[in-house]
């Protein structure tokens, strides 16, 4: 029998005050596996991200200028920086700690850097963002 979906949205404090002001401070939580509806596309700031708590750890769901969405474990492959607080450009995000560029499609660091953040399937349907966890 399927477990009921439980999505909880809570206010969380981000370290950088400007991020809070820009609406980066909401966090969703998914507690079951499979495709889960996490938020409206508009709830993700353009060129930013929203964090979803999951059994895998925090997942950063990004939105770029073309309204494409991507999902990566919120942990830079360099030293674990919060990718959700990075700057999205094209199909990449710049880590806020040391500036590594991480591909949003697959989580791979852009050469010459080496490493990979786990990626997750994500899609938009009728303005709602769905994440496979
Ligand atoms: S932790 Fe991301 S570049 Fe260092």
Which of 61, 114, 105 shows the shortest CA–CA distance to 83? Answer: 61
**Residue 100 near ligand 1, beta carbon < 6 Å:** yes
The ligand 1 atom at the shortest distance from the C-alpha of residue 81 is 1
For residue 41, is pLDDT > 80?
yes
What residue has token string 């079951």?
32
What residues make up the domain containing 112? 7-132
Substitution candidate for ligand 1 out of 86, 93, 94, 98 with most atoms within 8 A of CB: 98
Structural domain includes residue 2:
no
Residue 2 is given by DSSP the state P
pLDDT tens digits for range 6-16:
333 333 333 33
Give the C-alpha separation, 15 to 22, whole Å. 13
Q: Which are the contacts of 89, defined by CB distance < 8 A and separation ≥ 6?
A: 47, 64
* CATH value at residue 15: 2.102.10.10
Give the C-alpha separation, 131 to 71, whole Å. 8
Q: Domain tally for the chain?
A: 1
Give the C-alpha separation, 62 to 87, whole Å. 10
Structural domain includes residue 42:
yes
Structural domain includes residue 1:
no
CA atoms within 13 A on the CB side of 116: 6
In sign, the C-alpha dihedral spanning 35, 40, 42, 45 is: negative
For residue 39, is pLDDT > 80?
yes
The confidence score (pLDDT) of residue 14 equals: 32
The confidence score (pLDDT) of residue 25 equals: 40
**Residue 76 near ligand 1, beta carbon < 6 Å:** yes
pTM of the model: 0.79
Confidence of residue 33 (pLDDT cuts 50, 70, 90): confident
Token pair for residue 125? 């349907």
């Amino acid at each position: 029998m399927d477990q009921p979906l439980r999505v909880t949205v809570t206010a969380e404090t981000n370290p950088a005050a400007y991020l809070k002001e820009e609406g980066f401070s909401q966090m969703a939580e998914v507690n079951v596996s499979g495709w889960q509806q996490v938020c409206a596309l508009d709830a993700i700031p353009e060129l930013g991200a929203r964090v979803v708590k999951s059994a895998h750890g925090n997942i950063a769901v990004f939105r770029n200028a073309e309204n494409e969405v991507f999902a990566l474990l919120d942990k830079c492959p360099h030293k674990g920086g919060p990718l959700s607080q990075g700057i999205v450009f094209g199909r990449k995000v710049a880590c806020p700690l040391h500036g590594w560029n991480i591909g949003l499609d697959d989580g791979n660091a852009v050469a010459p850097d080496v490493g990979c953040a786990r990626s997750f399937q994500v899609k938009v349907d009728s303005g709602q963002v769905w994440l496979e966890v």
